[in-house]
Amino acid sequence: MKLTIATRGSKLALWQAEWVKKRLENLGHEIELKIVTTTGDKILDKPLAEIGGKGLFIKEVEEALLKGEAQIAVHSLKDFPTVYDKDHFTLAAIPTREAVEDIFLSETFETLAELPHNAVVGTSSIRRAMQLKAFREDLVITDLRGNVDTRIRKLKDGKYDAIILAHAGVKRLNLLKEVKYYEVIDTDIIIPAMGQGALGIETINDEAVINAVKPLNDLRTQVEVTIERDFVDELNLGCHAPVGVNAKIMVDDSIKIKAALLKDDKLVKKEMVVAFDEWQTAGREFAREFK
């Protein structure tokens, strides 16, 4: 089947689209890429929350699908809203998840704990900022926009003592070697965003296209991220909301869920363990504990 993937033009977005392209080609399909520039790519001088959140990376890509210019879109799942146009689109597959954690990067300091008093840390995420402040109230959190490689260049230029990024993106682009020190941040310190480390493959509502993509789905990842997305959806929060939520299937097949969000200007963190056969209701049930 001949298919076109709509993708943003950043290095990470292209890596993700090429990753999906290769796997679909291995299944016998003929795949092309169509690069789309989104509003989120154009506005780099303001925080995401100020200009409307991560959905800004989705709109123009979906328009390409509606116009028939492409049939598939590949997203970082943490950027993909829980509420979308299901009349026209389907989240057809969620491949095996990459590293879920955030990562600390620095040219001067070996770990997050070793940062000096009032160190400047760059992040564009309110979620990361609020949890960093809970861990180290003295840290000075400064906004950091741009693609992954741009953010690392700003660190190397000396604008920050450290920056915090998603581990998955840095790994996918093989950029760990570009920075002197890095530390994977334990999810007890910073709980990741919903869907972090996972890709979402969105398609038009065409059965043949959906069936072409379905073999790339990973059930384990689908279960974990569905719990996370249900949690955020139940609380009526968007992609850019100050909330971290992570579901992890344990060795005994139980599922451990942890979440952090701001409530009445206070950081609230909770954990919950459920049996695997309760996964379809777990996210919403856990969310109600935060209401």
Strand order in the sheet with 181-184: 140-142, 120-122, 162-166, 102-106, 181-184
Q: Are 187 and 131 in contact (CB under 8 A)?
A: no
Beta strand 72-76 with 2-7 is parallel
Contacts 24+ apart (CB under 8 A), 282-286: 282/227, 282/230, 282/247, 282/255, 282/257, 283/226, 283/227, 283/228, 283/229, 283/230, 283/231, 283/233, 283/234, 283/245, 283/247, 283/257, 284/230, 284/231, 284/233, 284/234, 286/227, 286/231, 286/257, 286/259
- How far apart, in Å, do the first and last CA atoms of the chain sit? 47
Residues 6 or more apart from 96 whose CB is under 8 A from it?
218, 220, 221
Q: Are 4 and 70 in contact (CB under 8 A)?
A: yes
User: Facing residues of 91 across strands?
Assistant: 202
Residue 79 appears among annotated catalytic residues? yes
Residue in this structure with the two tokens 């399909």, named with its chain if needed: 29
Q: Write down the catalytic residue from 45, 79, 253, 264.
A: 79
Residues 214 and 171: their CA atoms lie apart, in Å, by 25
For the annotated catalytic residues, the residue numbers are: 79
